[in-house]
């Protein structure tokens, strides 16, 4: 066979292999979606046990697209027994789990098309900060990190270079930006999407109620539908543009879903602080989301990319 034909055959074979891998990945997502819909028509990718009817109905909040809006998660109360049971099953601290669930309920009212589920927020929260416990801290009864959760300096050394945008107000760094809080928001993204999730009059990135409500607002932005494989993947990529990050969040959310139904699964171990995928060169890309690790998109996922 001539070299030109050999090259052509090789390219065709490579293309077929890539297509097969893509089909397998989408099949995995679609399969999970079909299992989810068997439980509830609103379940997204991947699914978790459905949230029970709130013990106290929350009034519809202000338009989430507005300025000084409040998620009013403090009025969305799910059965404390359900929270206790799910915390035991999943290993998520009850106070943090309460915020994930309340954010799902709030998002369902504010963004009916979104289909965001609490275990997706839990997947992000695990990858970003081990549910608010990164570095040995914890979330207090008031919902605020006992010790501020602040990511590494984005100074271009192995990470993106993002010079200071907030005068150090959020991240305590006047030279370069850092991601902050249990859901790891960059200061500029927090300024655009941060909201008051507990009705105390302040949007605090270190508060789990505020952070999860803001993450829900960010994920649902732009009429995304997280009940589809494409919409779910696009939302997570918006949070952190890395295939490795998508896989890490998917795995964590999927494990949470299994654990929430009583399946005996060993939870994954969170990444060590400062572990990130390769950073892109240059400035922050347009539309870059809350997370602090802008990275190339490696073909092989590395859990703990967040």
| Structural domain contains residue 241 | yes
How far, in Å, CA of 120 to CA of 263, rounded?
18
Q: What is the DSSP letter of 73?
A: G
pLDDT greater than 60 at residue 64: no
How far, in Å, CA of 257 to CA of 90, rounded?
8
| Structural domain contains residue 276 | no
What pLDDT score was predicted for residue 96? 97
Contact 182, 139 (CB under 8 A): yes
What pLDDT score was predicted for residue 151? 95
pLDDT greater than 50 at residue 19: no
Q: What is the pLDDT of residues 164-205, one digit of tens each?
A: 999 999 999 999 999 999 999 999 999 999 999 999 999 999
3-state secondary structure of 258: helix
| Structural domain contains residue 50 | no
How far, in Å, CA of 110 to CA of 105, rounded?
9
Contact 274, 306 (CB under 8 A): no
Start-to-end C-alpha separation, the chain: 47
How far, in Å, CA of 102 to CA of 94, rounded?
12
| Structural domain contains residue 210 | yes
Helices 243-260, 80-90: inter-axial angle, 10-degree rounding:
120
| Structural domain contains residue 41 | no
| This prediction's pTM | 0.68
Residue 57: band (very low, low, confident or very high) from pLDDT cuts 50, 70, 90: very low
| Structural domain contains residue 6 | no
Percent of the chain with pLDDT over 70: 60
Phi, psi of 207 (to 5 degrees): -95, 130
Q: What is the pLDDT of residues 219-235, one digit of tens each?
A: 999 999 999 999 999 99
- Residue appearing with tokens 């990050």: 245
Mean pLDDT within 22-43: 38
How far, in Å, CA of 148 to CA of 34, rounded?
40
Higher pLDDT, 284 or 227: 227
How far, in Å, CA of 221 to CA of 238, rounded?
10
Average pLDDT, the chain: 73
**Which one, of 166, 177, 182, 211, lies nearest residue 71 by Cα?**
211
Q: What would the two tokens of residue 226 be?
A: 């997280």
**Which one, of 115, 45, 133, 127, lies nearest residue 301 by Cα?**
127
Q: Which residues pair with 144 in a beta bridge?
A: 207
Q: Which residues pair with 56 in a beta bridge?
A: 77
The count of other CB atoms within 10 Å of the CB of residue 75 is 17
pLDDT greater than 90 at residue 130: yes
3-state helix, strand, coil split of the chain in percent (to 5) is: 45, 5, 50
| Structural domain contains residue 38 | no
- Residue appearing with tokens 């978790």: 48
Taken in order 60, 64, 69, 73, the sign of the CA dihedral is positive
| Structural domain contains residue 281 | no
How many domains would you assign to the chain? 1
Range of the domain at 246: 70-261
Q: How far is CA 83 from CA 42, 43, 60, 153, in A?
A: 20, 19, 23, 36
Q: What would the two tokens of residue 256 be?
A: 């949470």
Q: What is the pLDDT of residues 133-172, one digit of tens each?
A: 999 999 999 999 999 999 999 999 988 899 999 999 999 9
Q: How far is CA 187 from CA 131, 153, 168, 217, 297, in A?
A: 20, 12, 9, 16, 23
The count of other CB atoms within 10 Å of the CB of residue 152 is 17
């Amino acid at each position: 066979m001539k070299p030109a034909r050999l090259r052509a055959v090789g390219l065709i074979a490579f293309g077929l292999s890539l297509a097969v891998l893509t089909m397998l990945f989408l099949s995995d997502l679609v399969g999970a979606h079909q299992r989810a819909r068997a439980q509830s028509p609103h379940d997204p990718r991947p699914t978790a046990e459905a949230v029970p009817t709130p013990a106290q109905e929350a009034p519809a909040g202000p338009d989430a697209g507005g300025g000084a809006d409040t998620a009013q998660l403090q009025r969305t109360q799910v059965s404390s027994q359900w929270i206790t049971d799910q915390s035991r099953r999943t290993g998520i601290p009850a106070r943090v789990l309460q915020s994930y669930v309340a954010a799902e309920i709030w998002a369902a009212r504010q963004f009916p098309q979104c289909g965001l589920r609490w275990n997706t927020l839990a997947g992000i929260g695990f990858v970003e900060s081990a549910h608010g416990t990164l570095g040995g801290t914890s979330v207090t009864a008031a919902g605020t990190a006992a010790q501020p959760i602040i990511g590494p300096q984005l100074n271009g050394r192995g990470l993106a270079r993002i010079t200071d945008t907030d005068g150090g107000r959020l991240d305590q760094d006047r030279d370069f930006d850092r991601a902050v809080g249990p859901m790891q928001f960059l200061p500029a993204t927090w300024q655009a999407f941060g909201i008051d999730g507990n009705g105390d009059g302040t949007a605090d990135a270190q508060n789990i109620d505020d952070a999860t409500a803001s993450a829900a607002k960010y994920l649902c932005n732009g009429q995304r539908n997280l009940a589809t494989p494409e919409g779910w993947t696009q939302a997570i990529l918006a949070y952190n543009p890395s295939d490795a990050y998508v896989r890490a969040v998917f795995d964590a959310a999927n494990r949470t879903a299994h654990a929430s139904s009583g399946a005996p699964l060993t939870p994954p171990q969170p990444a060590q602080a400062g572990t990130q995928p390769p950073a892109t060169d240059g400035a922050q890309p347009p539309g870059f989301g809350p997370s602090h690790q802008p990275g190339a998109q490696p073909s092989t996922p590395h859990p703990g990319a967040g």
